[in-house]
Amino acid sequence: MDNKIFITEKDYLRITNLLNNLVVEPDILENLEVEIERATILSDDEVPAGLVTMNSTVEYEDLSNGKITTVTIIYPGNEISSGKNISILAPLGSALLGLREGQEINWKFPTGNTKRLRILKVRYQPEANGDWHL
């Protein structure tokens, strides 16, 4: 299985800044920090359309039960009115960021359950739509 993840340079800088300025217990954000550090960083013009970036709306399947869910990955405080928002600080948000359509990941959730998720479709991605302000 290909377990590489990719993030945009803009997302990397914003998330790193966010992590450096949060006042929380260090272990709460450990998964996100690990994911960010292992990611390959891409410039905005290198971002493929099927990549989950910040503010992307993504459809994924929980392979343990076949449930399909659509979420938008957001920064804390940037709630989007339509659909289901997931903060990048939430375990699910950090699990999905940087994956590509068709890619799968095993992720341990706070409940202790490990789930296998597959990215089915990136329904919206700011970079693919020229929404550079997001």
129: left (phi over 0), alpha (psi -120 to 50) or beta: alpha
> What tokens were used for 75?
């920064």
Q: Is the pLDDT of residue 1 over 50?
A: no
For residue range 80-132, what is the model confidence (pLDDT) as tens digits?
A: 656 699 989 888 898 899 999 999 998 877 788 888 999 999 999 988 877 76
Beta-bridged to residue 106, according to DSSP, are 116
Question: Of 44, 18, 51, 21, nearest to 32 (Cα)?
Answer: 18
Report how far apart, in Å, the C-alpha atoms of 4 and of each of 37, 40, 85, 92, 101 are: 12, 8, 24, 17, 13
Tell me the average pLDDT of the chain: 86
In CATH, the number for domain 6-124 is 3.10.50.30
What are the tens digits of pLDDT across the range 32-63?
Answer: 888 888 889 999 788 998 999 999 999 999 99
Contact partners, residue 53, CB within 8 Å, separation at least 6: 7, 8, 11, 47, 73, 97, 98, 125, 126, 127
Give the C-alpha separation, 117 to 128, whole Å. Answer: 23
